[in-house]
Structure 1
Amino acid sequence: MLDSSIQLDGPVLIEVQQQGLVAPISSEDICATLFDIVNIRAPEPDGYDPNFFKVGWTIMHFDVYAPVQEFFETGSLKLWLVLRLYGVEKLQSYIRNHIRLAELFEQLIGYDSRFEVVTPRTFSLVCFRLIPPQNDPDNGFKLNQSLLNSVNASGKIFMSHTVLSGKFILRFAVGAPLTEDKHITMAWKVLQDQATSLLKDL
């Protein structure tokens, strides 16, 4: 039985493992890895077995280094792993579901006249703010800053912000793999409750 934290967040890597994932790949690393492969291993899709590269290493090593280093340094490995783990159809479904959840959050904002969507939604990111009272001296800057701080301090959800045309904007992004409709409605309830509390104190 897996620990519940691992089921939710995935395995946690120790610092050495994390550093290893982002460390640059050297020519020595490539050489050592290749020579560690046993000679009897079946040929790769290119038709060559490990022994072929070992025997001709002094001649062809430069031709091997470049594509392998490029694969790791350009982030191709990250993209390849995602596609390999999910597959194209599952990845499409994953992204579309997050967009749908962001649309749900955007709709909930529209039902509450105290809030406004500031910019058109982009994928799974919704930018919005709490509309300040009339004649507010800073056009709701401190009000929305306080709302963000109180929401994040609740420990129930976490949001970020940006400043656009002098306005303090809240950013709600759907990105966690296990996010469902119920989490969106819960997040919206937290926002509404905190907004009610703030406006009551004005």
Structure 2
Amino acid sequence: MTPDEFRRHGRQVVDWIADYLESLESRPVRSQVRPGEVRAALPSAPPERGEPYEQVLADLDRVLLPGITHWQHPSFFAYFPANASGPAILGDLLSSGLGVQGMLWATSPACTELETVVVDWLARLLDLPAALRTDSAGGGVIQDTASSASLVALLAAGSRAGGELARRTVYTSSQTHSSLEKACRIAGIAPGNLRVVDVDPRTLALDPEHLRSLVSADVAQGAVPTLVCATIGTTGTTAIDPVRRIGEICREHGGWLHVDAAYAGVSAVCPELRWINDGVADYADSYVTNPHKWLLTNFDCSVLWLRDRRPMIEALSILPEYLRNAATLSGQVIDYRDWQIPLGRRFRALKLWSVIRWYGAEGLREHIRGHIRLADEFAGLVAADEEFVLWEHHPFGLVCFRPRWPGLPIQDANEATIALLERLNDSGELYLSHTKDTEHVLLRLAVGAPSTGREHVHAAWRVIRDTYAAMA
């Protein structure tokens, strides 16, 4: 493809994306295809000769688009958002065009140094402690996802803890993201050494007193408490663990406190929401949040900060001969290959840089506040209806709720709620997901798509209410 051909087809692709974003509301939210349908519509063998790019775009429309669930749809409420915005898409395009492989400072100094600036900018926007910024002993790095960030934090914690691997213990709650359990498997933590801490049944927040008793019992048995994960905004209900009290227990026993704020952390761009960071400045050894969830930066872009980067580098740094270079050996540069699991890395900082510069702090705050206002309005609709129960904790963009199903035992009511969920999602008019408290299945409505407005939230409630009425 020559530069002129690229220019021509590039305009077609940009126009296609713009048309797609404009037409989203007219499409069913969730893909309507059956298993195997997309594959059956595609040739079983690759083409022998190259094809015009117009044919690629034609098959995108004909074959692939029906198999897409539209995460940017204004009525997509199922999961925490995966925001895509114009500036982020353009930043990603620039990254692809440059084709940078930023494993070392030497392989593209701007890739590394822009990233250090952007993660420090974001730390300032969220009012995170100065100890997490790159001009300190700590620093930040863009990972692909919070799952990778948690694994890096666990490996760093193990490096600092020392001792035999078989004696290392990790502490989570039933509400902690499943990536922590997977990280333990990858890191070689024995399944029996992953402790599940009780939660408060009213809030689903981790119980620090149960944590204390577990840690004390483990220490008495010669275990090495290695990492505790505290979550700010759990996936199920956005429960908030008591970071400060958890941090105090970690400090007593030398454990690493990892704070998972993958979804909710970016909300601290709003000063009125910075209460969520209570305890982070004093106790967090690592902290992760995902701009690709709620900060208008398309997937993938997860930022991990550490208070002290040395244990991470000790755990991950390997320097084969083919990577040796003067800048690395000088010790004056950051090589982000030592801050992540893979060697190679994309120039992800470009899209986050584009987003922050386009929207500015003011625009980012209004984005978050607007979604919280819509979630509050939806919660008010639920609370006013006697046939539904609202999960009262909803400080962000997520609202959890359930029908009462009067007269039904809990198990039957849970099955009826799942049946309602399936009927709603099959309609194509909206897309919800579910979670569970200690007993009940809850429906989750997460406001997060950039195009979602008041009319979409009210339309969602009408569909939910009417479908429930038809089933009750």
Q: Specify if TM > 0.5.
A: yes
Taking a change above 3 Å as real, the CA distance of residues 152 and 81 of structure 1, as seen in their structure-2 partners, is same
Equivalent position SS for 2:15: coil
Q: Which has the higher helix share?
A: 1
Identity value in percent: 30
Q: 1:116 aligns with which of 384, 389, 403?
A: 389
Distance 1:31 1:92 in 2: 36
Distance 1:87 1:181 in 2: 24
Distance 2:367 2:460 in 1: 20
1:85 aligns with 2:352: no
Q: Is the 8 A contact 2:390 2:400 kept in 1?
A: yes
Q: 1:152 aligns with which of 425, 431, 446?
A: 425
The match for 1:172 is 445
The match for 1:60 is 327
Map 1:1-202; keep pairs closer than 5 Å: 2-3=15-16, 4-7=19-22, 9=72, 25-27=102-104, 30-34=105-109, 59-62=326-329, 63-66=332-335, 77=349, 80-136=353-409, 138=411, 140-199=413-472
Amino acid at match of 1:175: G
Q: In the TM superposition, what is the alpha-carbon distance from 1:86 to its structure 2 partner?
A: 1.8
Distance 1:60 1:25 in 2: 14
Equivalent position SS for 2:430: coil
Distance 1:137 1:65 in 2: 55
Taking a change above 3 Å as real, the CA distance of residues 99 and 24 of structure 1, as seen in their structure-2 partners, is farther
Q: Which sits farther off after the overlay, 180-189 or 137-146?
A: 137-146
Distance 1:24 1:160 in 2: 37
Q: In the TM superposition, what is the alpha-carbon distance from 1:64 to its structure 2 partner?
A: 2.9
Cα RMSD after superposing both structures: 3.5
Distance 1:61 1:33 in 2: 13
Equivalent position SS for 1:84: helix
Taking a change above 3 Å as real, the CA distance of residues 68 and 31 of structure 1, as seen in their structure-2 partners, is same
Equivalent position SS for 1:87: helix
Could you list the per-position Cα deviations for residues 158-190 of structure 1 after superposition, in whole angstroms to 9, with x for gaps in the alignment?
111101112000010000001111001111111
Could you list the per-position Cα deviations for residues 87-116 of structure 1 after superposition, in whole angstroms to 9, with x for gaps in the alignment?
100000000000000011011112321111
Equivalent position SS for 2:386: coil
Q: Is the 8 A contact 2:388 2:401 kept in 1?
A: yes
Distance 1:119 1:24 in 2: 46
Give the TM-score normalised by structure 2.
0.31
Taking a change above 3 Å as real, the CA distance of residues 176 and 137 of structure 1, as seen in their structure-2 partners, is closer
**Bigger radius of gyration among the two:** 1
The match for 2:217 is none
Q: Is the 8 A contact 2:101 2:108 kept in 1?
A: no
Q: Is the 8 A contact 2:103 2:337 kept in 1?
A: no
Distance 2:364 2:339 in 1: 24
Equivalent position SS for 2:452: coil
Distance 1:69 1:82 in 2: 26
Distance 1:113 1:141 in 2: 18
Q: How many residues align?
A: 167
Equivalent position SS for 2:456: helix
Equivalent position SS for 1:171: strand
- Gaps (5+ residues) in structure 2? 1-13, 25-71, 73-83, 111-323
Distance 1:162 1:173 in 2: 12
Distance 1:121 1:58 in 2: 51
Equivalent position SS for 2:400: strand
Q: In the TM superposition, what is the alpha-carbon distance from 1:138 to its structure 2 partner?
A: 1.8
Q: Is the 8 A contact 1:124 1:174 kept in 2?
A: yes
Equivalent position SS for 1:162: strand
Equivalent position SS for 2:462: helix
Taking a change above 3 Å as real, the CA distance of residues 192 and 25 of structure 1, as seen in their structure-2 partners, is same
Equivalent position SS for 1:64: coil
Distance 2:354 2:370 in 1: 20
The match for 1:40 is none
Amino acid at match of 1:143: A
Distance 2:410 2:402 in 1: 16
Give the TM-score normalised by structure 1.
0.68
Taking a change above 3 Å as real, the CA distance of residues 80 and 34 of structure 1, as seen in their structure-2 partners, is closer
Could you list the per-position Cα deviations for residues 110-129 of structure 1 after superposition, in whole angstroms to 9, with x for gaps in the alignment?
23211110232131100100
